[in-house]
Amino acid sequence: MIVADSMKKRLTKRTIDALEPTNKMFKVWDTDVKGFFLRVMPSGTKTFAVFYRIDGKGRDYTIGHYGRLTPEQASRIAKSKLAEVSAGTDIQESKKASVKAAERHKYSTLKGFIELKYADWALSHLRGAKEQLRVLEIDFADYHARPMEKITKWDITVWQKRARAAGLKVTTINRRVAILKSVLAKAVEWDVIENSPIAGMARLKTDEAPHVRYLGSGEEAALRAALAARQESQRDERNKHNSWLEKRHKQLLPDLNGVFTDYLMPMVLLALNTGMRRGELFKLEWQDVQLKERNIIIHGYKSKSGSTRHIPMNDEAFQVLVTWRNISSEDRLVFPSPQTGRELDNISTSWKNVIEKSGISNFRFHDLRHTFASKLVMAGVDLNTVRELLGHSDLKMTLIYAHLAPEHKAAAVAMLNKI
C-alpha cells in the first residue's frame, strides 16, 4: 500500500543509508515483502515496521530500529509477523499482552512487589509502615523469591508453628500474618495477581481475656526511683564533663540541674497519667497541648484508631507538661529527638536501661498504657469512659480490663439474695 509521503524501494543497507530525513516523517515500502516498510523520522531515526489489516482495520506494528536490526533480520521478522496475521492473530494486541505479562512477572514475587510497588506506597500512606516493612523483610524472608500466587495457606501454617516454637505470642503471630495478608490484598487490588492465596485464612485462636501486664504500686515506685536515679547520673556526668572543660578553658555545656534532664522521665510520667501510645507521644505537638484548659488533643491522623480524642490532664500530667515546656526550646514537637530535632523513632535503649535498673521484669513501654487503664478500672471508672480515654474504636478492646473490677460482678450476683 502506497500512501502520501512514501516511496517503494528494496530495503537494503545501501538504500537505507542513502535515505535522508526531511522535515516530515515518511515511509519507504519494501518491494519484496508486502506490508514491510521503513519509517524515517525528521530526527533521522529509522524504524522497521509492518502494515497489516485485522477485522478490516489497518494497523502498523513496529519491529525495531535500523542499526539494532539489519534489513535482513527485520525482513525475516516481518514475514513471521505477517504469517501470524494470516493465521488470525492481531500482532499488535499480542505484543501488548506480552508486555503486560512481562510487567506482571517483574512484580510477581513477594520481594519484587514489595520493593518495586508496595514499599513506596506504604511509607506514604500507612502509619507504622517501617515496622510493617521490617516484618516483611525478616519474618517472611523464606517467601521473598516465591511468586505471590504460590504462597499457600500451608506455607503460612508451617510458619506459624515455627513462630510459636520460637516463643512468639499468638497475638504477635496473628498481627504479622495480617501484614502479609494486607500486602497480597493490595497486589490483587493493583491487578498484579488474580487472587490472594491466603485470603480467608483463619487467625490463630487467642485468649479473649488475656493477662494484662500493669505496674503494681511497688513496681511503679521502683520505676519512678529508677527514672530519678538515671537523672542524677546524667547530672553527675554533665557536671564532671563541665569541670573537665572548665579546666581547659573550653565552653561549658548547659547544666542539667532542672527538674528533667531529658525527654524520658516526662514522657513516661505522661504515659502513666494519660494512657497515650508511644507513637502518639512521639508525634505530640505543643499546639495540641491546651495548658489553660488542661486538655490534650490526639488528632485522628496521628492515632492508631484514626479518631480524634481529648484527654484531660490530671495534676501530675499538667505539672509535667508545664515544667517540660519551660525547659524545652522546641516550639513544635513536645518530645523531639535530641540528636536531630525531628520526631523520635524509638527510645529502646534508654527505656531498656531504666527498666533494668528498676528491677521490673517483663514490662514494655506499652504496658504503661495498660497501667493507666487498669488503675482507672480499679478506681471504679466505667469501661466506656476508659474506652474513650484510650481511643479504642470498640468496647471489646477495653473489656480486657473488666476483670479488674470484680466488685461489679459481686454486686450483680448479690442481687440474687433479694429474690
What are the pLDDT digits (tens) for 64-91? 999 999 999 999 999 999 999 999 999 8
Whether residue 360 contacts residue 222, with contact meaning beta carbons closer than 8 Å, is answered with: yes
Query: Is the pLDDT score of 212 beyond 90?
Result: no
SS3 66: strand
Mean per-residue pLDDT, 302-329? 90
Query: Is the pLDDT score of 161 beyond 90?
Result: yes
332: left (phi over 0), alpha (psi -120 to 50) or beta: alpha
Query: Is the pLDDT score of 207 beyond 90?
Result: no
What residue segments make up the domains of the chain, in order of their start? 6-103, 107-189, 217-410
Residue 202 burial (CB count, 10 A): 7
pLDDT of residue 55: 84
Query: How many contiguous H segments (helices) and E segments (strands) does the chain have?
Result: 17, 8
pLDDT of residue 164: 92
Residue 98 burial (CB count, 10 A): 10
Query: Is the pLDDT score of 145 beyond 80?
Result: yes
Whether residue 262 contacts residue 276, with contact meaning beta carbons closer than 8 Å, is answered with: no
What are the pLDDT digits (tens) for 33-69? 999 999 999 999 999 999 999 888 899 999 999 999 9
The pLDDT-based confidence of 209 (bands split at 50, 70, 90) is: low
Mean per-residue pLDDT, 218-225? 96
In 3D space, the residue among 305, 211, 225 whose CA is nearest the CA of residue 268 turns out to be 225
pLDDT of residue 413: 64
Query: Is the pLDDT score of 412 beyond 80?
Result: no
pLDDT of residue 300: 83
pLDDT of residue 380: 86
Q: Which three cell numbers stand for residue 321?
A: 507538661
Q: What is the largest CA-CA distance in the chain?
A: 112
CATH annotation of 6-103: 3.30.160.390
Query: Is the pLDDT score of 107 beyond 50?
Result: yes
pLDDT of residue 171: 87
pTM over 0.75: no
At the fourth CATH level, which superfamily is domain 217-410? Intergrase catalytic core (1.10.443.10)
